Structure 1
């Protein structure tokens, strides 16, 4: 292990191992849930992949139900995820989530042929129930393991699993479908990857630094002392100030931002294969390749934004708030402008369309640093709860977007219909970031204090009750002074 700086902690340590495990968990789950956008094309158009496997005659509305159904279950388990992390520990909860999701992938090829799209939806709902636990638990785990100075770094590194999982789903899925494994192989491969991860997780994951096996005493001290230096932070389970959280202007602003981003980004995630297939007339093999390019760009942009943020913060060129809002502006207003352009392109401008799509999705890589990690800024003590609210509300949107696209794009070969979809997403991108610039904050909120509810209750006492408490405290002080004076006389 590299030498340890007493003030900064080890260059590589147990906290980085936990961040890497969270990265793997997110990547595995994203790959397991996003492969559907490519596999649906293979399942409903076998001639573009492997014609030896069963082809399903599902219409656009039925396919939109399949794409949307995952999120029907996903939003339900956001709040249970936060509570489970508090009561049962992160290690157990993420194991349950990833194992359950992987099993859903494995059983899918056996169930869909006899149950058709309806059973596909049911399996996706169950998979969503399991994966809904993930992000509230991830943010709670990051809050426990991240020194204050490294929250952006460790948070961004773990969330790179989003881009890596998406790249894996988009690139590998088409190749598997076109191979001898056919579309059933998609489920087997991603389910198997999930099972392997569960074994790795059980060996190396730790609930907190205090109980960790793979940590030095100096790193443990570094993490604890760093968190202790932040106002109001504690590792104890404390009451949740629901009213204060739900009426907090910075948190409401964050919710609006995430909703607007979720609309635009879920359109890109779920609909790129359909758009490439319908408007640009690309087959499944090239579709998979070009569906992957935007997420490779997104992964690259995530690294670039992370490096820039670290340099700016270390050099103290700007505050954390300025860094977050600047990067979030690039990550939302950039795609908004590009979406307007994409809507005007057709098969004759295929290369330009792919370039704009690539940059559009790529710029979204700044959104993790820009706003997603803002939950830990506002309240490290309630980071898991904030994320459960944020993810629960935000992921209602991917339920709606496939249905909305299914209604608007009744013929996926019509470019003008896709143009409407892209313009709506662009407007929401713009509005969402504008209000975040005005109302968002990176300051730790008063309700993060472990005694916040006690203080608030004291403030709400009547003047008579406060007078009684004041008199009571005065009497206690008189008694203490008398005891001190007596002891002085005696000794």
Structure 2
């Protein structure tokens, strides 16, 4: 029986794995283009530290802060629209345009800065943010139609680790390019070239779904589509979004609470701890590329550790999918919460311990990908892109609030007690955000995920108003059995042809 099921899945490494690899590479190159500015801006304003053969710009700290944050002004605006674009045009087109737009504006960045200064640089970053805001809704939508439920953790978590890989590479590659013969303009050129190369690869190998792929085998296509229980005309239909049902869904609201608390805690770990180390521990880790990238490197590596453990737990059926989600989310939230509190009590003699705790806490937080991020696909494969876009829009407001709250509390950056309050608030949010997810979260698909959910509700309302019909002579056929019969008939006819 097991050997037969393996044959039905098609090749051991199939097109669904290729799609996951393409998503991984896409997130990697686009995060390099997104995050390289933090290194590039240092090279632009201090040419002596990298390559003095290229022009130096004398920008104020405020102007540099505008440049660093301007990407997210555009990014947050297209998170929700990205899911609607995917439903209308497909994830393949949306991701292609996002990467192509990022590449074009990366190429024109050096010449544009020479012409218009920091203001034009901000404008370019805003436009790049608009292009990249659609990425995560599109990736989630793509995974939802390509990942069989039993492989969702494996394919989804691997794809999302591309963002961690891109974060690490952005710091290392950008520094090397800036010091090399290409100088700081080379950072933009290399980023644009990587995005352009991915566009070509994606155009050739990417496909909106299994039925559209020109490389997939019949067995793998049948395995994917039947496991997702799609109707025959699913990919040709535009399923309406049940707004009211989603916004009043307790499991989705629990997921939203978890995502918001995760972004608040993680932004505190990534943005405020370096400031604390500089003010209280008298250590400037932001000027050290190794210390700055170490937490992200740990996060990337830990993602694969979580992935392997989750795969074993589910394959051997030691835990249900819901239990795996809650277990990993608890580890990813509560251990970093304890780390935040501990860091606040370290003295100047414990700088190495502070760096270790920060690195470990950020690394452990990688479990939130399997814990809550992938939960959007669990709740509703048919509306996964919209759920990701909506939750990301709300969650991305939090990193804007984090530094503002810290700024109100920390009047004297050398006062440890004030920083302890900042870390304590983040730890409490981490703790209670996960409590909400533990109580109300689930990995079960919700009733409003059904393709005919709104239609069925309208029919039910009309039935209540109309006189009751005669009872059916025969019970309705099981929908799963009906789906299997349809797929068997389709591929039997295809084989006979």
Instruction: Give the TM interval when normalised to the shorter protein.
Output: 0.7 to 0.9
CA 1:112–1:407 in structure 2 vs 1: closer, same or farther (change >3 Å)?
Answer: farther
- 1:466 and 2:466 equivalent? yes
Q: Which moved more, 1:25-34 or 1:367-376?
A: 25-34
Query: Retained in 2: the 8 A contact 1:171–1:288?
Result: yes
Query: Retained in 2: the 8 A contact 1:48–1:283?
Result: no
Per the TM alignment, residue 466 of structure 1 is displaced from its structure 2 partner at its CA by 2.7
Work out the CA distance in 2 between the residues paired with 1:68 and 1:409.
Answer: 21
Provide the residue aligned with 2:324 in structure 1.
323
Per-residue CA shift, 1:60-105, capped at 9, x if unaligned? x544433332222112112221121122122211110011122233
Aligned to 1:215, what secondary structure does the other structure show? coil
Query: Retained in 1: the 8 A contact 2:269–2:340?
Result: no
Aligned to 2:151, what secondary structure does the other structure show? helix
CA 1:407–1:42 in structure 2 vs 1: closer, same or farther (change >3 Å)?
Answer: farther
CA 1:273–1:40 in structure 2 vs 1: closer, same or farther (change >3 Å)?
Answer: farther
Work out the CA distance in 2 between the residues paired with 1:249 and 1:475.
Answer: 35
Per-residue CA shift, 1:275-312, capped at 9, x if unaligned? 7777413574xx11221211221112111111111111
TM-score, normalised via structure 2 length: 0.85
Work out the CA distance in 2 between the residues paired with 1:407 and 1:49.
Answer: 36
Per the TM alignment, residue 122 of structure 1 is displaced from its structure 2 partner at its CA by 2.2
CA 1:398–1:96 in structure 2 vs 1: closer, same or farther (change >3 Å)?
Answer: farther
Work out the CA distance in 1 between the residues paired with 2:369 and 2:443.
Answer: 14
TM-score, normalised via structure 1 length: 0.86
CA 1:357–1:3 in structure 2 vs 1: closer, same or farther (change >3 Å)?
Answer: farther
Q: Following superposition of structure 1 onto structure 2, how do residues 69-108 of structure 1 map, counting pairs within 5 Å?
A: 69-108=70-109
Work out the CA distance in 2 between the residues paired with 1:313 and 1:232.
Answer: 29
Query: Retained in 2: the 8 A contact 1:97–1:134?
Result: yes
Query: Retained in 1: the 8 A contact 2:32–2:170?
Result: yes
Aligned to 2:130, what secondary structure does the other structure show? helix
Work out the CA distance in 1 between the residues paired with 2:166 and 2:217.
Answer: 31
CA 1:380–1:475 in structure 2 vs 1: closer, same or farther (change >3 Å)?
Answer: closer
Query: Retained in 2: the 8 A contact 1:294–1:359?
Result: yes
Provide the residue aligned with 2:358 in structure 1.
357
Residue segments in structure 2 that go unaligned for 5+ positions in a row = 474-497
Per the TM alignment, residue 155 of structure 1 is displaced from its structure 2 partner at its CA by 0.6
Q: Which moved more, 1:139-148 or 1:344-353?
A: 344-353
Work out the CA distance in 2 between the residues paired with 1:417 and 1:172.
Answer: 36
Query: Retained in 1: the 8 A contact 2:376–2:388?
Result: yes
Per the TM alignment, residue 119 of structure 1 is displaced from its structure 2 partner at its CA by 3.1
CA 1:86–1:106 in structure 2 vs 1: closer, same or farther (change >3 Å)?
Answer: same
Provide the residue aligned with 1:483 in structure 2.
none
Query: Retained in 1: the 8 A contact 2:274–2:286?
Result: no
Per-residue CA shift, 1:44-65, capped at 9, x if unaligned? 5555444554143422x54443
Q: Which moved more, 1:422-431 or 1:366-375?
A: 422-431
Per the TM alignment, residue 316 of structure 1 is displaced from its structure 2 partner at its CA by 1.0
The match for 1:280 among 263, 279, 283 is: 283
Aligned to 1:11, what secondary structure does the other structure show? coil
CA 1:283–1:335 in structure 2 vs 1: closer, same or farther (change >3 Å)?
Answer: closer
Work out the CA distance in 2 between the residues paired with 1:32 and 1:188.
Answer: 10
Work out the CA distance in 2 between the residues paired with 1:112 and 1:431.
Answer: 45
Provide the residue aligned with 1:187 in structure 2.
188
Q: Following superposition of structure 1 onto structure 2, how do residues 165-204 of structure 1 map, counting pairs within 5 Å?
A: 165-204=166-205
Per the TM alignment, residue 168 of structure 1 is displaced from its structure 2 partner at its CA by 0.8
Per the TM alignment, residue 453 of structure 1 is displaced from its structure 2 partner at its CA by 0.9
Residue segments in structure 1 that go unaligned for 5+ positions in a row = 478-491
CA 1:182–1:420 in structure 2 vs 1: closer, same or farther (change >3 Å)?
Answer: farther
Provide the residue aligned with 2:487 in structure 1.
none
Work out the CA distance in 2 between the residues paired with 1:429 and 1:310.
Answer: 25
Q: Following superposition of structure 1 onto structure 2, how do residues 238-249 of structure 1 map, counting pairs within 5 Å?
A: 238-249=239-250
Per the TM alignment, residue 405 of structure 1 is displaced from its structure 2 partner at its CA by 5.6
Provide the residue aligned with 1:390 in structure 2.
391
Q: Following superposition of structure 1 onto structure 2, how do residues 26-41 of structure 1 map, counting pairs within 5 Å?
A: 26-41=27-42
Higher relative contact order (CA 8 A, sep 6+): 1
Work out the CA distance in 2 between the residues paired with 1:54 and 1:146.
Answer: 48
CA 1:303–1:245 in structure 2 vs 1: closer, same or farther (change >3 Å)?
Answer: same
Query: Retained in 1: the 8 A contact 2:101–2:128?
Result: yes
Work out the CA distance in 2 between the residues paired with 1:150 and 1:197.
Answer: 25
Provide the residue aligned with 1:342 in structure 2.
343
Per the TM alignment, residue 416 of structure 1 is displaced from its structure 2 partner at its CA by 6.7
Provide the residue aligned with 1:311 in structure 2.
312
Query: Retained in 1: the 8 A contact 2:10–2:217?
Result: no
Per the TM alignment, residue 13 of structure 1 is displaced from its structure 2 partner at its CA by 0.1
Work out the CA distance in 2 between the residues paired with 1:41 and 1:418.
Answer: 27
Provide the residue aligned with 1:482 in structure 2.
none
Per the TM alignment, residue 367 of structure 1 is displaced from its structure 2 partner at its CA by 1.0
CA 1:68–1:421 in structure 2 vs 1: closer, same or farther (change >3 Å)?
Answer: farther
- The number of aligned residues is 467
Query: Retained in 2: the 8 A contact 1:164–1:299?
Result: yes
Per the TM alignment, residue 424 of structure 1 is displaced from its structure 2 partner at its CA by 3.5
Per the TM alignment, residue 336 of structure 1 is displaced from its structure 2 partner at its CA by 1.5
